[in-house]
Each structure stands twice: as structure tokens, then as C-alpha cells.
Amino acid sequence: MSRSAIVPLVLLVAAGCTQNVGLDAGPDSSADGPSADGNPLPDASRDLLPDAAAADTGVTYPHTVHVQPLGFRALRVAAANQSLRILGRFSGTMIAGASTVTALGYSDVCVVGMTATGAPTWAVQVGGDSPPGSESEWGNDLAMHAKGTSCIAGGFVGTTHVGPLLSLTSQGEAELAACLGPKGLVQWASAGGCSTGGSADGLVIAIDPDGNTYVAGTFQGVASFGNAVLASNGGKDLFLLKQDPAGQVVWAISAGGKKHDQAVGLAVDPAGNALVAGNYHDGIVLGSHTLETAFGDAMFLAKLTASGEVLWAVSSQEIEGLDGVSVATGLGVNGNGDAYLGGHFGGTITIGAHSITSHKSTVGANSLDVFVAKVSAKGVVRWIATGGGPGDDYLRDLDVDAAGYALLTGKHRTDARFGTFYLTASGPGYSDLYLARLDPKGHYVNA
């Protein structure tokens, strides 16, 4: 079907919201090209990708994207197959050479497709009618498939528009997922949750080798995802759903306890199993697995089959009297299916059979340090690497290549040590960014 003949294929309404809308994406399988409206976006911006981001490749980005009047804020970046995608938010009018995109409300979500040299080739916006100072839609995460498909997860309230042709509606706060082809054509968009008095939010997203999409997030009350209807246990619970390449929900499951639970990381291993990481309070039930902590907040990592069965789950544990605290913030997987769980912690905690203790501050209190734990495909914790100093240090995100090298980034507030690498802070009251790399055995190779 030609691009000029794009028509809606599926429109389902359930639980007060547009559940799924699919489009015939047309000839959208090649590398980055013109935008969906036929207008190519010119070369991109230091505002979006700084030159330092490409230091190892020699690629620079000496271009400019102008946004008037309120600006552009990049949220997530994904790369695959010599292409880049940026999930961001803009207000007013975004001008990129001859192309202009104007926010429908106070500010809109957008996805910008770029070549490996930083030249933007298309842009798609997601937006609704939001009053000044508010956001009726939001983007939380971005994933990219090796064939060039990119998918986003987030949420919206009321009515939002995905590209020029799709609209989704909800009675409350609903989960949003959408996938775009290599040239930026919207392949499908869906909404989940949507119950009156309830809420749902898509926090993280991943794509498996076959093009199926996994979304994890939080919901409260009663929420519907396709034919699955989920009910929370008390506070905000987790949901995890799988959608096929056309956006149809294959399955959806919930996990949680009496308090609030949160998903922070999602990955798919080469065999098609899903790994989800998050944080919980007191206790959480994941399939047939129950995790508990006696001293408050903890983090978890769980592995599920492609059919949604929970194979195993591991958790951090604080030790009584040692004021332990742990927060998961990132997740990656290598080519063997081993998971890398990252975050920050204070005091003494255990993960599996391994215990770690953070630095003390200058006044003797526990400071926050960075950690990365490698967990085998069978759920056995192999090693834990830590880094930090007497000030609070944070892990913002991590990524893992097929060979098992982990790249982690975040900030440190005082001088910090990562293995044999010593990082000097700018001074009191400042936070500095760090970038560190671990080898497959948990040794820092640079920072």
C-alpha cells in the first residue's frame, strides 16, 4: 500500500479509552529518510547530542536545532543500525531548518530520527490540548530495534494525538505506547489502563528480536490492557505487558504488594525472555515468587519467559542495625542472557550471597555509593562492583554490550573512586558527571 493510501486498520474502545490503533505503515523499512509529511529535517544539534558523546567514533555534530520560545528538553536517546532516536519534549515551535513542528498544547512529546552523523531526518510529535503549565502527555522511555523501528512508553490524560493521523482518548491517566517505522511513520499506538478513578503509566519499554514490544509501568485501581483486566493490591502496583509487532496485546500481568512498587528497567535477552527491575516497599509478589524485606525499601530483578511466566526473582536485603538502603535505576543484558542491575545504595546491603558496604560521610553517616550487580541467566548473583566516595553518588543509567562490558553514568558530589580510577570533584556544592566502564568480570577498565 502506498504512503498516500494510509488508513486506520483497528480501533478498539475498552474501559473508557482507545485501546489500540494500528496503521498500515507503507514502505517504511529502509534507513532514515524524509519525515512523514515529506519534509526532510536538516542537520541536527549540539543541543540534542553534544560532541563529547561521539568522542570514541570521531563523529561530531556541528549543527543547530532552534526551538522557540520555550525550548527543547531531551529525555532519552537510543541507537541502532547506524541511526539515532531522541525522545524529548518541546514547547512553542521547534524549527529545524525548513521544517517546523508546533506544539498542540503547552508542550508536546516528540521523537526525532537522526543519522549516525547527527543529521535529523524526521520528527513525530505526540500531543494534546494542555493548558499553560501542565502536560497532558509524557514520554518516559525509548527503545530501538536493529531494523530501525523505535518505540516509546509514557502516559496521557484526555485526548492525545500520535503523529498526524492517530488519536487516543482516556477517562483518566492512561499508559501510552507507540512504535514508529525507520522513516518515522507511526506503525501503531495503544493506550492501557483508562479506568475511571484509576491510573496507569508506562515507565520502561523494550523490543525483542522478533519485533514484539514489552512495556512495564505502574497502575492503581482497575486497569485493562487488551483483554486482560488487572486490579492493584493497595498502592501502585506493577504491570508488564507484551504486544506483538502490530501492537496487539499478547498478555499482561501484574505484580505488587500493599505499598507502592515501581519498574525502572526492562530488557529482553537473545532468547526472548524479559527481565524487569524495580523497587518495592516491605513486600512484592511476582508470579509464584514472594519477596520480602524487613526494613523498608528494597529492589528486585525478575526474569519472565516470552509467555509471561516468572522464572525467578532476586531482591536486595538490608541488614538490621546497619541502616541499609538500596535503589535500582538501570538494567542491561549481555549476549549470554546475563543481567546487569545497577543503582545506588547506602550502609550495608546484600544481593544474593554478596554483601556490600558504602563509604562514610565526613561526619560518619552512611553516604550513597554506586553499584552494578551481574546476575546469571539462572538468577545467580556472580559479582557486585561498587564506586563512590564520602559524598552521595548516583547511578543514572547503564548499558551493556553483547560481550558483557557495562557502561554506567551518573553523578558524584565529592572525590570518588571507581576501582583504580580516582575522580576529583569540582568543589563543595557541585555535582559532577561520571562515565565508567566495567569488564565482564566486574573490574573497572576506565572512568
The residue with cell 541536527 is 44
Residues 264 and 289: beta-carbon distance below 8 Å: no
Question: 147 exposed, middle or buried (CB, 10 Å; 0-12, 13-18, 19+)?
Answer: middle
Query: Containing H/E element for 202?
Result: strand 199-207
Q: Would you say residue 35 has pLDDT above 70?
A: no
What is the structure's pLDDT at 256? 79
Question: What CA dihedral angle connects 170, 249, 23 and 134, to 10 degrees?
Answer: 30
Q: Is residue 323 part of a domain?
A: no
Q: Is residue 415 part of a domain?
A: no
Q: Is residue 260 part of a domain?
A: no
What is the structure's pLDDT at 51? 29
pTM, full prediction: 0.85
Q: Is residue 70 part of a domain?
A: yes
- Between 6 and 188, name the one with better pLDDT: 188
284 band by pLDDT with thresholds 50, 70 and 90: confident
What is the structure's pLDDT at 93? 77
Query: Containing H/E element for 395?
Result: strand 393-400
What is the structure's pLDDT at 12? 30
SS3 3: helix
Q: Is residue 46 part of a domain?
A: yes
Q: Is residue 163 part of a domain?
A: yes
Whole domain around residue 122: which residue ranges? 8-255
Residues 140 and 154: beta-carbon distance below 8 Å: yes
Cell numbers representing residue 319 in the block: 541488614
DSSP 256: B
How many domains is the chain partitioned into structurally? 1
Q: Is the peptide bond before 69 cis (omega within 30 degrees of 0)?
A: yes
Q: Is residue 193 part of a domain?
A: yes
Q: Is residue 106 part of a domain?
A: yes
- Which of 321-325, 349-353, 415-419 has the weakest average pLDDT? 321-325
